Structure 1
Amino acid sequence: MDLVINWHITEACNYQCFYCFAKWQKDDQRELLHSKHEIQQLIKEISLLPSILNTKSGCSFTGVRLNLVGGETFLYKHQVLNIIEAAKKYHFKLSAITNGSLLNDELIKIIANEFSMIGFSIDSTHTESNLKIGRAIKNIPIETDKIHSHIQKLRTINPKIDIKINSVINQLNKDEDLNDFIRKLSPSKWKIFKMLPVITNDYSINDSEFYDFLERHSDLKDIISSENNDEMTHSYLMIDPLGRFFQNSSASCGYDYSSEILISGISSALDEIKFDISKFIKRSKLIPNIELSTFDPATLA
């Protein structure tokens, strides 16, 4: 099993989604991805994690999949190329999450050839909803047809690439029917998140509303991976743009941070945060998250 590490390489983004959790305490420090040397050092530290967790928790991780997240991952093409170069030295698999707005033929070719998986963040197909959510540039909302075109080009270059769709469900899109749209994109996985109120409670939904959305899309349950707030908490290994582990704070909105990995070492930094290995393994093994015929909304509490 690969150990999946989510490295949020930058807070910068060309969208302004109201619920975005990519807000870190940085005190105007320079993001690590702008130093090729620090990229190489962080990748080296990350390569130690499978062995560390195997020893501490009796796991059997055999490699790393480094998932690049933003902000918007592809705002900094040159820096992403430096990450690819460093990751190859340790035989990491690579994946990324993107809003898709900056993709062109050059980036599509890079992704198709260097990444095993690419995820697109799409919450809605409605213009008004996307504008209110903030998935827009200068009041021009995300173009879902263009995302479909990007996916087709990726598959033409690399038919084996995994395509994933990420959707965050909130008050602005909870009543939508995305069945036909998702079928058209034909992803290998559709990851549906209940909006996690890390930064704001505005437009958050309750468990019943989240369940209703899942029920409406039950015909797609074979590709759906749904996560409520409890399932997300402490179940990801996440690194922020300064090279610190971070987790959702249990005390308030915001995050708890480790010290900087390049200063303390990755083993010590890992000990400073809460990480639930059992939750991580359950999700990584792709155990079916929902059986809609017997699904109890109370289990989302």
Structure 2
Amino acid sequence: TPTSVNYHFTRQCNYKCGFCFHTAKTSFVLPLEEAKRGLAMLKEAGMEKINFSGGEPFLQDRGEFVGKLVQFCKQELKLPSVSIVSNGSLIRERWFKKYGEYLDILAISCDSFNEDVNVLIGRGQGKKNHVENLHKLRQWCREYAVAFKINSVINRFNVEEDMNEQIKALNPVRWKVFQCLLIEGENSGEDALREAEKFVISDEDFERFLDRHKDVSCLVPESNQKMRDSYLILDEYMRFLNCRNGRKEPSKSILDVGVEAAIKFSGFDEKMFLKRGGKYMWSKVDMKLDW
């Protein structure tokens, strides 16, 4: 059952993170109505949670595309959980005014609280301060009753950092900490658009980082092994991507063959999904949040 789905509806992005494993190989985005048709099929097949990702989701139609999908999933499909993962650089308050009520969780990627490190990683656009923006988004999430989450990719350049104070100050509902992952054809190997090898850290390095932050109650760690099999990833054509063999092998599109036929190729490990705590309190109505 596709209980929780990550739909990467675009590969386009305004950042150039050196370890990115979902890169701008195409500029394709499904027409809105086709995307809605696919989402309705997934709901029919048992989806409870949808996460919109990219690329950068707010790039398409200045956030209107993802806004309309969020509204559709909450209003029409009545999904318990609707979330977005974004770098946060393109989100404006007017988006929250229009679509905030339909969004359960906004996850913002932040790998470092040191701007120089963000520049080294490629997560930034020169003048704009990534960290400053994070605090602004935190405030909007409070004002518009959206649960706030932070995603961090731990890599060679931030593995020694102590983020305890900053994370506690931002007080997210969940802090997802990912170990930098190599995916052949995306960020490693010949046909890749990124070379992430120089960012990779060992399992021991990752454990040390986790140990340094063990008092942060909202921390949720994701090792490479957990990430590989326990995510249902839908690409821009609504094909499931199988990451099991260290690269992304696409199924046929659910729009052509249906959800059941496509999901057989996904390599998805439901036991691993549950083991990594993939199912959690993911509806904002269930969270007792001090907005």
Shared fold (TM-score, shorter chain, > 0.5): yes
> How far does the alpha carbon of each residue in 1:184-207 deviate from its partner, in whole angstroms, 9 at most, with x for none?
100011110110111232210001
- Say whether the 8 Å CA contact 1:121–1:167 is kept in structure 2: yes
**C-alpha distance in structure 1 between counterparts of 2:58 and 2:25, whole Å:** 22
Number of residue-to-residue matches in the alignment:
265
Does the alignment pair 1:100 with 2:88?
yes
- 1:234, distance to aligned residue in structure 2 (A): 1.3
Q: Which residue of 2 aligns with 1:58?
A: none
Distance 1:25 1:270, change over 3 A: farther
Counterpart among 40, 49, 59 of residue 36 in structure 2: 40
Shift of 1:108: 2.7
Q: 1:24 and 1:99, CA in 2 relative to 1: closer, same or farther beyond 3 A?
A: closer
Partner of 2:54: 70
For the residues of structure 1 that align with 2:2 and 2:41, how far apart are their CA atoms? 16
Answer yes or no: is the 8 Å Cα contact 1:39–1:86 preserved in 2: no
The equivalent of 1:11 in structure 2 is 11
Kindly tell me: are residues 24 and 266 of structure 1, through their superposed partners in 2, closer, same or farther at Cα, counting changes over 3 Å? farther
Q: Is the 8 A contact 2:242 2:249 kept in 1?
A: yes
Distance change >3 Å, CA 117–CA 111, structure 1 → 2: farther
**Per-residue deviation at 1:104?**
1.3
CA–CA distance in 2 between the matches of 1:8 and 1:223? Answer: 25
**CA distance in structure 2 between the partners assigned to 1:259 and 1:85 by the alignment:** 27
1:170-249 alignment runs, 5 A limit: 170-198=155-183, 199=187, 200-220=196-216, 222-249=217-244
Q: 1:2 to 1:234 in 2, by over 3 A?
A: closer
Task: Give the structure 1 partner of residue 72 of structure 2.
Answer: 86
Q: Could you tell me which amino acid in structure 2 is paired with residue 244 of structure 1?
A: R
Contact 2:107–2:149, Cα closer than 8 Å, also in 1: yes
Q: Secondary structure at the match of 1:236?
A: coil
Q: Is the 8 A contact 1:98 1:121 kept in 2?
A: yes
The one-character-per-residue Cα deviations of 1:77-113 (angstroms, maximum 9, x if unpaired) are 2212331343221112311111111111112324531
Question: When the two structures are superposed, what TM-score results if normalisation uses the length of structure 1?
Answer: 0.82
Q: Which runs of 5+ in 1 are unaligned?
A: 51-62, 288-301
Percent identity over the alignment? 30
* Change in CA separation of 1:106 and 1:140 when aligned onto 2, cut-off 3 Å: same
Larger radius of gyration: 1
Q: CA RMSD in A?
A: 2.1
Contact persistence 2:2–2:45 (CA under 8 A): no
Distance 1:150 1:130 in 2: 18
Contact (CA 8 Å) 1:127, 1:141: kept in 2 or not? Answer: no
Q: How high is the TM-score relative to the length of structure 2?
A: 0.85
Residue deviations 1:148-202, cap 9 Å, x none? 12211221222xx321110000000000111111011000111101101112322
| Residues 1:152 and 2:139 aligned together | yes
8 Å CA contact 2:85–2:107 kept in 1: the answer is: yes
